[in-house]
Amino acid sequence: MIGFSLTRRVWLSATGLLFMLVGGGCGVLSPTNTPQPSFYSLDSAKVEARDSINLPRRTPTTGIAAPTLIVNPPHAASGFDSQRIIYTRQAHNLEYFAHSEWVDTPARMIAPLIVAALENSGSFRAVVLTPSAAAGDFRLDTEITRLQHDFSGPASNVRFTLRAYLVDNKTRQVLAWREFDETVAVASESPYGGVVAANRAVQTVLDKLSSFCTDVAGNWLSKATVVPKRPDASPPQDMLNYYKQP
């Protein structure tokens, strides 16, 4: 009887341990309720054509065509070259939203928006995004130095900074450069509120970039269409007086 009782206890203990292992295994294998990430885009930067400053496609006096612009894909400063949406609560400290991301890197999303904004300006014969075999008069290089949701103040805002260089393709000389910086207040303290503000900031910066490129192109075109004065074919007055002398 003693042996039977001991065997039964061992059997019951082993059975209980087996159930514990099975139950624990099921817990490990069961899916966790991890929130799915939300993806957002930069896509609302539509710059209206500025009819009052549109440059002629070809000047009537010299036949010089409006310039062609080659746009290089934007670069991004360190920390701003990923799909993570950045926010900050104190200076020099960048953090990321856990479940909110861009659908692509900001640089890749902004590239076609730059092209669209410059096309709508009417200041260029063509605007071409590289890589392309097309040749152009100007090249536009841009760098995103900041795109972040700032919570350090009493009210949060989004700040977007873009640096632009317009280069003469023939001489490789920088014709002009400018840094555009825009801060937009956030309506709701959430990642989506920051995304809406980011789109507005990009819209404003691209409008200013379009004006900047238009002004530089206008100056270039005005210099190219200056017709030099023809030298006077008549002899100098003192020579005429000399021949009139008896």
Contact 189, 236 (CB under 8 A): no
pLDDT tens digits, one per residue of 152-179: 988 899 999 999 999 998 889 999 999 9
What number of other Cβ atoms are within 10 A of residue 39's Cβ? 13
Confidence of residue 36 (pLDDT cuts 50, 70, 90): confident
> Burial of 217 by CB count in 10 Å (0-12 exposed, 13-18 middle, 19+ buried)?
buried
Which pLDDT value is given to residue 11?
Answer: 52
Which pLDDT value is given to residue 28?
Answer: 44
Give dist(CA 70, CA 134) in Å, integer.
8
Reply yes or no on whether the pLDDT at 235 is more than 90.
no
Confidence of residue 32 (pLDDT cuts 50, 70, 90): low
Confidence of residue 229 (pLDDT cuts 50, 70, 90): low
Buried b (16+ CB within 10 A) or exposed e, 108-119: bbbbebbbbbbb
Which pLDDT value is given to residue 141?
Answer: 96
Confidence of residue 37 (pLDDT cuts 50, 70, 90): confident
pLDDT tens digits, one per residue of 121-156: 888 999 999 887 778 889 999 999 999 999 998 889
Write down all domains in the chain, each with its CATH number in brackets: 66-224 (3.40.50.10610)
Which pLDDT value is given to residue 99?
Answer: 93
Give me the mean pLDDT over the 92-105 stretch: 94
Q: For all residues of the chain together, what is the average pLDDT?
A: 79
